[in-house]
Each structure stands twice: as structure tokens, then as C-alpha cells.
Structure 1
């Protein structure tokens, strides 16, 4: 059976890279990976803004790449780099989006746009930007420090803390991606070098690394890393923000994020061994500290989860706005393979999202605003769309990939934010490379003989044959995480029915070996 490929309507809702309060009255239902749609009532077609998802399974398509590039090419860099735009704003999310898509596609034009944004990051740093563009301001130290102010442009004293780590992490990500592709090292950067940051890709990467290390050496380590135990604490006076207090967990991982990526860069370059040791020690100490302050709980579904507070000394449960950054940071440390983090530790965080937060919906259809499944106000208010950082947890709970993707597709978030679309496509490609795509039937045990592939849908005998199968001749099945297949011994979904939610190398023990005549494939709610 020829599978339908449907394009998502992706209308512009504005650059909002957060769990925005959108008016969605209905509860989001699970959608099928081969029949995805936008918000109910929208036409199913390619929208003018470009963002496209043709399927939630398989390789990234040419249309998806082209659509992403069309939309993201319209995004530009602000002249003022403060007010946390490189931390929480659209430009911050754009850089990560470019990185995800370059990882997935190897398209150098996407890398060039990432470099354009990273050049923008560096040129808007307080000590590099002109006074007319909001730079050259003294911070609470009395110096014109190498920071991106968290304060507004007209603020007299520039405010800044350890959120600077997130800004640096963007540049380190770009450098890491370049270093992972030595074939382009000596090629001139496609967008040129108007700012003098390095003509070739490798030279640009080295510039970003040097500048990241400079900020860490001159801002983060001397002011925020406690010498006795390497933990991240705020200094006292003249600093007034959380003076002498511990870093909130979401801000803590912003520092570990950049150090992890810089370690990876220096490993690729095989240089600065002492810096690698220094950064590894800081990351290890702070990630251990974070994990040590989790409390084990059990969800209503029976899964092992975590509960934690906003910070070491806070009386408030972590809210789901900041939870997203916690999740990204823990996943990044785990995925690096360097910090002895058990898979179970990250799985319990993923379970917290999928089995507690998303299982508790409010009357308006929004999801819980705190990690214990309750909802408050402001940052703890309910949300209708997952922040794009959460998609890393769907890499851990692979059975919830479709759930996460379809929440953001149905809410319209994927239509309006390149970062969300990029995370979905990045994870789709990661699954594809791991062999997780459609349900597949095989002629012989151990996945031998003919192979027939099926996306979501119902398949009569005629469709089974059209997809490459043979009646009463299947002996093995592969079922990707998050999907299920019901095999029937008769055509038209009759006779014996056997459900599979995981691979089976041989159907001999299932009562349906060499007896499949029709099937139904769905995603797991």
C-alpha cells in the first residue's frame, strides 16, 4: 500500500521559545506517525513560513531540510546581546536548532547560519559591543566584564551571573560540530569573516573555544566556583543576586553544559589536558551535587521518578519551565559518557516528565506546572507545549517520542518555533539511524527473508502483500519504541489477534507464526 505523506501546516505564531500559554481547549490526543496534522481545523499543507515535518518516522527529507532553512534564514541577530536573549530568548534557541539540524544533515549551509549567530553572540559581548549597542558597561564588580547582560539595554549597571554558561554553550556547540567534521576544517567559512574571527571553519572554531575559555577564566571560575569543593555558589557583596547562595539547578547546568562541550572540543583537538581535567572536575562535582538532591518517588503508573526543589535552599518545588533546562543538562552530561551517570538516573527524570507531569492535566487541557504534577502560577503555571529542551528526554523514553512530538504539533508550537521542529527532526533522524522506523514483518526467524514495512494504519491482506509481505508467511517482527502492532490470522482483522509492543525474533511461541493475514499499527498513547 502506498503510504500517504502529509505535510504539517506550519503558520507563524511568533518567535516564542518557551512553554507558552496558548489557548488549546481540547486535550491533546496521540497522533499517528504517518498521518500527522496541525491544530484541529487547520488545512494540511505546506505553510508559507517553511517549517515542515512530513513524517515522524524515517530519514529527514529534502522538503524538511529546505523548509527549515527557508524559515531560519529569516531569523536575524539583535544588535543588543543582553536581556537574556542568548539565554532564554529566540536567538538562543535558534543556535541550538541550527546545531541539531547540522548534526542530523551535515548541511554546511545550516552550519553557516549557526556561525552567523555565534558571530553575533561574540560581537554583542559587553566588553566587545559599542556603547551605542549597549556594551561597555560596568557590572557589579565595577569592571567592564566579558558578559552578556541579563539586564535591559538602558540599565546603568549590567547584571550577570552564571547564566552566562548557556551563552557560551552555544558557541562551544558550534565549535564542537566543526571539529567533528575535519573535511571542512581548511575550507573558508561560507559567510565570510567580516568580524575577523577566523577565515576557515577550524579557525572560527578555535576562536569560539578561546573566547569561551576566556569568559570562564575571567568571570565564571573566579566569581562562582567555590574553591573548597568546586560547587557553584554566588558571591557576596557587592553582588546582590542570591548573594552567598547556591546556584539554582537550572543555572548550574548552564555552566556544566558549556564545560562539557568545551571538554569535548579539547579532546578532539588533543590539547589543554589540564583544562580538560579542571572542567571535568567542576562538572562532576556539580552534577553529583544535583543528583544527590533528588528524592525518589513513584508515579501513579508505577514508574520510578524524581522530585526536587528549585535549588538546594529553596522551599519551592522545581517548576516545569526550569525543569526543561535541568533535563537538557542532565542528558548532556549523561550523553557525553564522561561523568558516571547511570541510565536509570536519567530515565527517572524522563519518567517524571512523561508519567507525572504529562499525566496530570488541568481543566483547560494544560499540563502540570511542577515536577510533582501540581500547577501554580507564573513559571509554575500549566503549559500546552513542551519546551524544546524536553525532547532529549524522549531520547531516553523512546516510547514517548510520538507523544512529545504530537503535543507540540497539535498545539501549534512546531509551527512557530524552529527549535521545536529541529529537535523533532533531530530525534526522528537519531531513531532512524538506530533502526527505529516503521513496524517490519520478516519471512524468517531472526529477521531473514523478505521484509515488509508498515507505518501507522490498518492493513488488509491486499495491503500486506502490496507492502512486500506474503500471506501466512511471516515469522518475525520489529516494533520501534512507542508503536504497537496487532497481527491477525485472517484477512479483515479476523481470527487470532496477537499484540506486539517490542521486537520478536521468532513468532513460533506467539501462536501466529506463518499465519499473519492482516494487521493494525498504531502509536502507544
Structure 2
């Protein structure tokens, strides 16, 4: 069992509350018991009000609203299987594909980037020259591959006409749409990410190409590896169902596996004991640093490792995930509405490493491994019968863990 979920920033979590304004809010029926029809309805009513971003300025399709909302829709559909949720995800995936640099008309597209070509990418800033690309290229590819996988994994939909129509001529049936998404996701991966952006010459470990204007020749930071892995994982899942290209599937899997092994077995993370005696992890933003990852990027890292754990094809176990949970509960949680700015418990940082009063939603997944902290974690930003929330990522991850708890009983 797996779920296509992804990254998270504090701005996306709290920005959602402001973004929603007077629109429908997602509401918690209960913290215990099964996910309710009312909770799912509140989610679908919420996403029905959303409009996808019209470009990727400021990483809107990565850690911004549209990126997080797309991942949330995929997660909820993976859990509950309601076609309404998937149809909204298709609406967003149609939009993100249509805004790819080589497909969109100017001014959204048709920009020559640092490679000298009009590559199949989603640049987040076209005003600075040369136009750079980085780990954020993984998320739009991941959205397309995730939606393709979800359709392919739902056999009853294959020959049905897509409910929302086909405004971009991407395919009349759900199967047609899935094949278009997968084809174009592979195209982006093969014609920019693997062709120019990544250097995999060191045992498939991810480094940026030496001539990349962004972090050229340096290891890809863990949070950005998680973005690429979001794409690789869903591409593997889709091709595994189709059984259409075992060589390409093997290539994708080997890169993702190298990333996971680098972190857990190649010196990426330290294992320590907390003051409470629990086993915890400490790691850094990017190799060779192995300590003091900031809270913001740590949440992105955790979400990425969790989705790979749920996938079940890459060797991550619950025992490997629990030190993440111990780290958040026993080291980062300093009191009510007080959370450390780094994974090693420090509170003197600023920016991404600044302490917070709220929980970044990537950490909510960890409540699955610390049931003793489940309610305190979920109730930090959610309440039963309250005014609700406008954070799709936070609410979707709450529902996912709530459902996991029921399945474990």
C-alpha cells in the first residue's frame, strides 16, 4: 500500500488558512475511529473551490499551494478511492502539464534556460539569467506520474470518459489521460533531469551537473532528493503496472534506491539517544553535513521518506521510520505550541531554522509510529467541531494517519 505524497513548507501550511478566506473549510469529525464521510466530503468540497496555479513562479507547483494541494488529492484518493477527488487531481495535472516550458506559450513558456534550450521544465523564476533549474523539477513530474499511477491502479476507470472533459486534448478516457501523463513525465525526466540536471556518475548518487548554475557539482540536498524521488517512485509504479519498459523502470528504481541507501547506510544520518532514552536521528541539509537539519527542510525530508516507506518497494521499514518520530516527539517538541527550529532540538536559529508554534505537516505522518503522541500532534493545529482548516496538506495527512491507525487495529 502506498500513497503519493510530498513536500511541505510552513508557508504552504499556514498560507492555506489565509488563502481560503471565506471558502469551505475542512473539518475534523473525530480524532479516533474511522475516517468519516463528513471528513471526506469537507475535503472534496474544499478542493472543488480551488483553482490551479497559472505558472510555477515562486514554486507554486512545488512547495506552494498548487503543489501541496495536488499531493493532498492524490493521498486522499489513494486512501478513500472517491472518483470526485481524482477528477479534481486531473484538473490540476492538466494545468501543470499545459504550463511546462516547452508546451506553454510565452510568457509562461518558451524560455531558453541555462542549457541553451527550451527544455521541458517548470522554472520558478524567469527574470534571472541564466534561468536555473533544481530539485523542484521533480515535483511536477511526480504529480503527473502519481496521477497516471492512480488511474492505472483503478481498472474500472480505464475505458470511461474523463468526467471533466478533455480541454487540452490529453486523452478522452482515463486510460488515455494516464498514458499522456506518463509519456510526458518520462519526457521531462529523460530530456532534462537525467540528460542535463543530474550527475549520477558516482554510484547513482544525486549530484547537480558541474555546469549547472544552481549548486553545480554539489550533492543534491535531501529535501530536493525527495522531490526527485517522488517522481521516480511514481514513474516506477506506473510502468510496473503497464509492464511496458522494464529497462527504464530499473533505471528509475536504481537511482531512488541509491538515494535511500546514501541516507540510511552511506553516512547521511547519525543515530543518537535522546535525553529521554529513545533512539533518534540527526542529519544535515546536504552531504557532507550530518547534523542540524532545519525544521522546514526536515519536514520535507520526513514526508519523502514516509511516502517511500508506504510504497513498500524500497526497503524502508517501520523500525527505520520510528527514530524520525522519536526525534520529533522527544527532541523537537519542547512544550505546548513550542517546536525546535532544527532536528537536533536547537531554538536559536532563524529563517527555516526558526522555532515554530505550529507543527509543519510533514511531521504529522510520524504520529503513526508514536501512537502515544498522536492526539497531541494532531490537536496542535486541528480541533473537533472547530472552525476547520484551509491546509490541504495538513488535513490530508491527518486523515491518512487516522486511517492507518484503524487498519492497525
What is the TM-score when the length of structure 1 is the normalising length?
0.70
Unaligned runs of 5+ in 2: 1-9
Q: 1:343 to 1:106 in 2, by over 3 A?
A: closer
Q: 1:286 to 1:85 in 2, by over 3 A?
A: same
Matched residue of 1:374: which SS?
coil
> Could you tell me which residue of structure 2 aligns to residue 425 of structure 1?
399
User: Which of 263, 279, 284 matches 1:309?
Assistant: 284
Unaligned runs of 5+ in 1: 1-14, 23-46, 436-525
Residues 101 and 110, structure 1, Cα contact 8 Å, conserved in 2: yes
1:226-375 map, 5 Å: 226-237=200-211, 239-291=212-264, 292=266, 293-314=268-289, 317-358=292-333, 360-361=334-335, 365-375=337-347
2:396 matched to 1:401?
no
> Could you tell me which residue of structure 2 aligns to residue 30 of structure 1?
none
Structure number having the greater strand percentage: 1
Shift of 1:183: 0.8
> Could you tell me which residue of structure 2 aligns to residue 451 of structure 1?
none
Shift of 1:226: 1.8
Q: Which has the higher contact order (CA 8 A, sep 6+)?
A: 2
Shift of 1:82: 3.2
2:74 matched to 1:99?
yes
In structure 2, distance between residues paired with 1:331 and 1:357: 18
The Cα offsets for residues 274-294 of structure 1, whole Å up to 9 and x where unpaired, read as 112111111111111122321
Residues 175 and 208, structure 1, Cα contact 8 Å, conserved in 2: yes
2:178 matched to 1:205?
yes
User: Which of 12, 17, 28 matches 1:17?
Assistant: 12
Greater Rg, structure 1 or structure 2? 1
Shift of 1:373: 0.5
In structure 1, distance between residues paired with 2:367 and 2:244: 34
In structure 1, distance between residues paired with 2:105 and 2:298: 35
The Cα offsets for residues 24-74 of structure 1, whole Å up to 9 and x where unpaired, read as xxxxxxxxxxxxxxxxxxxxxxx9623111111222222222222222111
Q: 1:392 to 1:413 in 2, by over 3 A?
A: farther
How many residue pairs match? The answer is 390
2:52 matched to 1:77?
yes
> Could you tell me which residue of structure 1 aligns to residue 143 of structure 2?
170
Residues 385 and 413, structure 1, Cα contact 8 Å, conserved in 2: no
Shift of 1:374: 0.6
Residues 148 and 177, structure 2, Cα contact 8 Å, conserved in 1: yes
Residues 73 and 113, structure 1, Cα contact 8 Å, conserved in 2: yes
Matched residue of 1:131: which SS?
coil
In structure 1, distance between residues paired with 2:159 and 2:364: 34
Q: 1:176 to 1:139 in 2, by over 3 A?
A: same
Residues 25 and 390, structure 2, Cα contact 8 Å, conserved in 1: no
User: Which of 68, 81, 93 matches 1:118?
Assistant: 93
Query: Which aligned segments of 4 or more residues in structure 1 are displaced greater than 3 angstroms?
Result: 153-157, 313-316
Residues 151 and 175, structure 2, Cα contact 8 Å, conserved in 1: yes
Q: 1:413 to 1:67 in 2, by over 3 A?
A: closer
Residues 340 and 355, structure 2, Cα contact 8 Å, conserved in 1: yes
2:114 matched to 1:140?
yes
Q: 1:213 to 1:417 in 2, by over 3 A?
A: same
Shift of 1:429: 2.3
In structure 1, distance between residues paired with 2:369 and 2:156: 31
Shift of 1:19: 6.5
In structure 1, distance between residues paired with 2:381 and 2:192: 37
1:14-53 map, 5 Å: 16-18=11-13, 49-53=24-28
> Could you tell me which residue of structure 1 aligns to residue 6 of structure 2?
none
> Could you tell me which residue of structure 2 aligns to residue 490 of structure 1?
none
In structure 2, distance between residues paired with 1:384 and 1:172: 35
> Could you tell me which residue of structure 2 aligns to residue 34 of structure 1?
none
> Could you tell me which residue of structure 1 aligns to residue 104 of structure 2?
129
Shift of 1:93: 0.8
Q: 1:250 to 1:75 in 2, by over 3 A?
A: same
Residues 144 and 181, structure 2, Cα contact 8 Å, conserved in 1: yes
In structure 2, distance between residues paired with 1:138 and 1:125: 13
The Cα offsets for residues 388-416 of structure 1, whole Å up to 9 and x where unpaired, read as 22222223333332222111216x99612
In structure 2, distance between residues paired with 1:235 and 1:318: 24
What is the TM-score when the length of structure 2 is the normalising length?
0.89
The Cα offsets for residues 134-158 of structure 1, whole Å up to 9 and x where unpaired, read as 211111111111111121x544543
In structure 2, distance between residues paired with 1:414 and 1:267: 39
Structure number having the greater helix percentage: 2
In structure 2, distance between residues paired with 1:318 and 1:351: 15
Residues 98 and 111, structure 1, Cα contact 8 Å, conserved in 2: yes
* RMSD, matched Cα: 2.3
In structure 2, distance between residues paired with 1:414 and 1:347: 29
Q: 1:141 to 1:413 in 2, by over 3 A?
A: farther
